[in-house]
Chains A and B, each alone.
Chain A
Amino acid sequence: MLRLYVTGMTPRSAQAIANIRSLCEEHLRGLYALQVIDIYQHPQLTRMEQIVAAPTLVKRLPLPLRRMVGDLSDRERVLLGLDLREARR
């Protein structure tokens, strides 16, 4: 269960969305739910979800909770944050 918080459709937002989609399709096909949330449209969520940086990918489940900030271009770190490191060849 992943939520990606972005600030509108900036190039960086688009980059982050593309990166996480391709990574999930590669490693988690059919096993994940990804929600992209524009915080300009839902500003109240920033406080509830403790969002400071943008973009931020929040992994609530499975535990532990992780926050990955940035455009998610460092695949290694994203995989690590998602506990998918073993999945990597």
Chain B
Amino acid sequence: MSRRQARPVARAIAKARTGIEGLDEITGGGLPAGRPTLVSGSAGCGKTLLALQFLVNGATRFREPGVFMCFEETGRELTDNARSLGYDLALLERRKRILIDHVRVERSEIDETGEYDLGGLFVRLGHAIDTLGARRVVLDTIESLFSGFSNALILRAELRRLFRWLKDRGVTTVITGERGEGQLTRQGLDQIVAIPTLVRRLPPPIRKIVGELSNAERTLVGLQLRAGP
């Protein structure tokens, strides 16, 4: 597969600023407004942080409340991580600027007994968006659903439906995905549905994120980031 850069989409598409220094410049003003964008990168490269900054900046600087749906970290882990960056998620939650929903999918708790869909997730996300009047959504990392449910066919069809639904609702969405063997995400999300994809590959935004680190640590982080395919 050819390497994809964050390429500017047609100029006619309105942009939603991320407020992340460097990223808004290389993307020609931000992410496509009202549409989903996939952020792909190797493990530990800062996809969650990028998504978090996108959401917090939206809520605090651009008057766009947002819903963070996390499928991996717990709400508390996320809040703690955010605090280390100087964000007070609890306060933003109390002010109804953001809403964090931790989606737990434990294979050990779930039995599949017949035909199902992800209707629960749609209702849940829709309700969160409505509660806040949200303009931004983060799904981090939705592919975790594949470890909780075994029917990949259903999941793929439902994710396709979900991305369409998000677009219809007009919320600017960041979907994170971890790079897998030879593809942008483990389950090939970008193949499930045509979606603008931002490959998280380093410098500009990461510099800001790791700003508190020493030079030695920065080098270390840089090496780790470059380890991806």
Taking Cβ atoms with an 8 Å cutoff, the residues of A that contact B are 5, 7, 12, 15-16, 19, 39-40, 43-44, 46-47, 50-57, 64-74, 77-78, 80-81
Taking A71-B115, A73-B114 as contacts, is the C-beta distance between A56 and B120 under 8 angstroms? yes
Taking Cβ atoms with an 8 Å cutoff, the residues of B that contact A are 101, 103-105, 109-121, 123-124, 126-128, 145, 148-149
Chain A to chain B: the 3 pairs with minimum beta-carbon distance, closest first: A54-B119, A70-B114, A43-B127
Which of A39, A54, A67 sits near B117, CB closer than 8 Å? A54
Contact in complex: B112, A77 (CB < 8 Å) = yes
Contact in complex: B115, A12 (CB < 8 Å) = yes
Taking A7-B123, A47-B101, A47-B128 as contacts, is the C-beta distance between A80 and B116 under 8 angstroms? no
A77 cross-chain contacts in B, Cβ below 8 A:
111-113
B115 cross-chain contacts in A, Cβ below 8 A:
12, 15, 70-71, 73
Contact in complex: A73, B118 (CB < 8 Å) = no
Contact in complex: A72, B113 (CB < 8 Å) = yes
Q: Which of chain B's residues has its CB closest to A80's CB?
A: B111
Q: Mostly helix, strand, loop or mixed at chain B's interface?
A: mixed
Kindly list 17 other residue pairs between chains A and B, CB separation below 8 angstroms, not including A69-B149, A74-B113: A7-B119, A7-B123, A12-B116, A39-B123, A43-B124, A43-B127, A44-B127, A52-B120, A52-B121, A64-B109, A67-B111, A69-B110, A69-B111, A70-B113, A70-B114, A73-B115, A78-B111
B101 cross-chain contacts in A, Cβ below 8 A:
47
Query: What are 19 A-B interface contacts by the 8 Å CB criterion?
Result: A15-B114, A16-B114, A39-B123, A43-B123, A43-B124, A43-B127, A44-B127, A46-B120, A52-B118, A52-B145, A53-B118, A54-B118, A56-B120, A57-B113, A65-B109, A69-B110, A70-B112, A70-B116, A74-B112
* CB of A37, distance to nearest CB on chain B (Å): 11
B110 cross-chain contacts in A, Cβ below 8 A:
67-69
* CB of B177, distance to nearest CB on chain A (Å): 18
Q: Which of chain A's residues has its CB closest to B145's CB?
A: A52
Q: How far is the CA of A44 from the CA of B172 in the complex (A)?
A: 23
Q: Which of chain B's residues has its CB closest to A46's CB?
A: B124
Contact in complex: A53, B127 (CB < 8 Å) = no
Contact in complex: B120, A68 (CB < 8 Å) = no
Q: How far is the CA of A40 from the CA of B122 in the complex (A)?
A: 10
